[in-house]
Structure 1
Amino acid sequence: MGVGGNFWDLLKPYARSEGFDFLREKRVAVDLSYWIVQNETAIKGQALNPHIRLIFFRTINLFSKFGAYPVFVVDGTPSHLKSQARIKRYFRASGVDMSSLPVPKDGISVERNKAFQKSVKECIEFLQLLGMPVLRAEGEAEALCAQLNREGHVDACITADSDAFLFGAKCVIKHIRPNSKDPLECYLMSDIEAGLGLKRKHLIAISLLVGSDHDLNGIQGIGVDKAIRFLKPFSEEEVLNRLLQVGRGENILLSGDINSNSDFVTNVESPKSKLPHCSLCGHPGSKKAHFQTSCEICVSVTGEGCTQKPPGFKCNCARCSLEQEAKEKRKREIWQLKICEKIALEPNFPNSDIIDMYLRDNNGTDDVCDISWKNPDTEMLIDYLAYSQRWEPSYIRKMMLPFMSTLYLRDVASNRSDILLCGQYEFHSIQRIKKRLGHQLYAVKWKRNANAVAGVGLTTPLEPDLHHELGEADESADLLEEPDVPQVYIEDGCWFLLTDEELKLVQNAYPEKVNVFLKEKELKEKKSKGKKTNLESPRGVQLSITEFYRSSKAVGAAKPPSEVEAVESSKNNYGSPGIKRKEKSSISKSVRRRLLFA
């Protein structure tokens, strides 16, 4: 999707792996169509309404686990360019000869199929119930995502369309892998510019040469590598104008001094005369002269004369270097002329409509500055999901709890209000610090208020043992699909929840509670260290390793032999040839006999 010719492989070396905190407290634009297509491809036929199910789980995780503020963008009316490309792609995949088909007229656009449009509409309705902002682009969703990123309304875009960079995106997140310590695969335009030396207009020119979603053909015989080699010497300001000149049939060479094949033949500088080189050593001079007086370059101490040149030897004298540079220049310019000829053969190249589309400043609504997030309509959401997914309300409440707790902590940090979580639960304490994939979290304990009144939250308490029904499947391999399930239990007749919350989020909402927890944790660590020190060294003096871990060999050597061992030793050594006789035992014979037969 996006630019053709394996464009993502070109950008792969400049990808960054970012951690869970990269998007925390940041706005991120999400290409909704990309999520729908990706999710339906992954679990299509395995779950009821997969687009609703996976948008639900992914939005909750993006909001709670990653701490981001998502802004969803949907496609508008596709341009006639993409409609034509879509028709060509369909017939090409079907094996139909496209030469016999009528050419679509400009200005005619083809909408997506009705099933996909229905899925998009349902997702929009669901996201609005969840309180998420949804924007509609005039054309491509990735174009509006890029505009929001370029103008600073969002900090990143989540899309797999590589042409987001051509629309002006600065930060694109292609993949999210939650089961990794660095779950985000992020691409920064600044890294691409520094690594490849290519800027936005260079990327637009590459797409014109290799093809894209708006022009499947491009220029035959030109791939990404050739396009970069041809375009890189041009500056960003002149690269598109140079393509326009080449498209009109002008052979613009990068050296700037040759404009046609005839000029090329007459203007190439070549050395006036070629110096003779010795066939033996390869250095300047004749072989006959080198026999009379040895070559200055390879003269030897013994006076044996020139030495035989090794295989593949190349002379590095000034005249030979000029010849080599002239050959390389001639070869490079011939290659450039061939590329210019290929481009000139393509009619109506470059397509000015594609260039204008990529450089367009406004790709969506004018009220993008009014992006806001609202409180979810939880009861409507429960009814909606219970009907569309056939889930039990208790399961829906449990899955929504990470979303609700994140929203609650943010409200407390900003408003310092006395509201309860889901209208029922109050902050009780911090149990401990958890580490998940190298990321630290607080395990927060919530207690159900005895005087809780059903309000804006979940109007019924969660149950300790919950079951749910999924249409056909209830498991997914992608951890981004399902949020962390909170623990629900009863202790001393009170209901408690245990959720995993971000450290900074809890710190901002309840700084006093966090300080108390950290002090108690520090005291416990000091006490445990003190006990350990007392056990290891009662006098407070650190023991050496030889004193602490005494050698078993030394102990065994120092231990005197037992009486039985002494008797056996004396018995075996008497009369044994070649073995030194040990000293006679001081134990009497009668005592030794009793010990032997005891």
Structure 2
Amino acid sequence: MGVQIGELIPRREIELQKLYGRKVAIDAFNAMYQFLSTIRQRDGTPLMDSKGRITSHLSGFFYRTINLMENGIKPAYVFDGKPPEFKRREIERRKEVREDAEVKWHEALESGNLEEAKKYAMRATRVNERLINDAKTLLELMGIPVVQAPSEGEAQAAYMAARKSVYASASQDYDSLLFGAPNLVRNLTITGRRKLPGKNVYVDVRPELVVLDEVLKELGIDREKLIEMGILVGTDYNPGGIKGIGPKKALTIVKRTKDPLKKYQKESEVDLYMIKEFFLNPPATDDYRLKWREPDEEGILRFLCDERDFSEERVRNGLERLRKAIESGKQKTLESWFRGG
């Protein structure tokens, strides 16, 4: 879900080419849910191999990552670790939502309503250890850095961006800003033509760049106040926030009140100060190495084609694109070196 403050956040569309040569830390779970939700058959069934193992996420990670690299972007994927204890309630709520959606998915299938079926199938998306491990295996075979966060992947990606290990954190959620990411890129892994849920309408989804300093300047607050504002509206750690407070009202409150959380703590079932501290100083690690390697092409063919029933022709075409993207990147780097740039 993420913090719902988007209506007040200044952002600008950018072309993928504007990120050429940039390192970007991608919230892997955020991307995985996107792939599992959108890469499905007409009735909502995910892509699967002959053994019934889901492969939608592998298709997403393989082809979308290649697309990023063709645009000169150097992606690193950051995977979630253990969530904070105060997120337990939201995790349970999401589980109930998925279970309810799964029931409605099968009911829609039985009634022959494929559009409804796909809608509920997308909401029923879930991630498990097998899917996570498969994704890590593929990315490592592709030579893409994989970073294991101690807690929230989004917090780790923001930490890496703040340390300038990468240019930006990439996620759909604005939580990255609360975690201190100086630059946030949205829509990175879902760029392209997309159908609006429940409507026969298609829109072009383009990457967006959000700069933390510009956000704070536009809103007239500092990061601490931005965190307080997010908490009042509602985060993954206190879903729903404080009743009756939306983004605009929250902004007014944090500007006028020295300690706004004190007033509203009694209305919350969780410790708001604990959430604030988590955003200010989230668990993060320095134990990561961002090194992009040559892909193991034979390993990828074995994993995707022999083990997961992917089309060998399509995978070989993807590998050819990946090879050319890497060679192009090397050539650009070499040209830049000779120019002294």
Same topology, TM > 0.5: yes
Q: Is the CA contact (8 Å cut-off) linking 1:150 and 1:170 kept in structure 2?
A: yes
SS at match of 1:71: strand
2: CA distance, partners of 1:40 / 1:94: 16
Gaps of 5+ in 2: 49-54, 101-124, 194-202
Q: Deviations over 1:66-117 (max 9, x none)?
A: 201111100001111111222245558889xxxxxxxxxxxxxxxxx98522
- 1:395 and 2:306 aligned: no
What residue number does 1:31 align with?
27
In the alignment, which residue of structure 2 is the partner of 1:376?
Answer: 295
Aligned equivalent of 2:131, options 119, 126, 129: 119
Higher Rg of the two aligned structures: 1
2:235 corresponds to which of 196, 199, 212: 212
* Deviation per residue, 1:120-166 (Å, 9 max, x gap): 11000110000011001111110001111111111011101221111
Equivalent position SS for 1:165: helix
1:530-553 Cα offsets, whole Å, 9 max, x none, are xxxxxxxxxxxxxxxxxxxxxxxx
Distance 2:338 2:301 in 1: 29
1:306-345 counterparts in 2 under 5 A? 343=264, 345=266
Deviations 1:388-424 (CA, angstroms, capped at 9, x unpaired): 4423434322221121012123445667xxxxxxxxx
Partner of 1:79: 84
> What do residues 414-447 of structure 1 show as CA deviations (whole Å, max 9, x unaligned)?
67xxxxxxxxxxxxxxxxxxxxxxxxxxxxxxxx
State the TM-score, normalizing by the size of structure 2. Answer: 0.77
Aligned to 1:62: 68
Aligned pair in 2 of structure 1 residues 67, 371: CA closer, same or farther (>3 Å)?
A: same
1:297-337, CA deviations, whole angstroms, 9 ceiling, x for partnerless residues? Answer: xxxxxxxxxxxxxxxxxxxxxxxxxxxxxxxxxxxxxxxxx
Equivalent residue in structure 1 for 2:245, among 222, 233, 241: 222
The residue matched to 1:375 in structure 2 has which SS? coil
Shift of 1:208: 2.3
Contact 2:90-2:237 within 8 A present in 1 as well: yes
Task: Give the Cα–Cα distance (whole angstroms) in 1 for the partners of residues 302 and 207 of structure 2.
Answer: 33
Q: 2:143 corresponds to which residue?
A: 131
AA matched with 1:243? P
For 1:131, the aligned partner's letter is: G
1:115–1:73 Cα change, 3 Å: closer
User: What is the percentage of aligned positions where both structures have the same residue?
Assistant: 26
Runs of 4 or more consecutive aligned structure 1 residues displaced over 6 Å after TM superposition: 92-95, 179-182
55-64 or 225-234, which deviates more: 225-234
Structural RMSD (CA): 2.9
Task: Look up the equivalent residue of 1:84 and give its one-letter code.
Answer: R
How far is the alpha carbon of 1:203 from its aligned partner? 1.6
Instruction: Choose the corresponding residue for 1:43, options 27, 39, 42.
Output: 39
- Give the distance between the partners of 1:392 and 1:94, measured in 2 at CA: 32
Task: Identify unmatched segments of 5+ residues in structure 1.
Answer: 96-112, 248-342, 416-506, 512-598
After superposition, where does 1:384-463 map in structure 2 within 5 Å? 384-412=303-331
Q: Name the one with the larger helix percent.
A: 2
Offset, 1:221? 2.2
Aligned length: 294
Distance in 1, Cα, partners of 2:270 & 2:46: 46
> 2: distance between equivalents of 1:34 and 1:225?
26
- Counterpart residue number, 2:157: 145
Is the 8 Å Cα contact of residues 17 and 72 (structure 2) preserved in structure 1? yes
The alignment partner of 1:356 has SS state of helix
Per the normalisation by structure 1, the TM-score is: 0.45
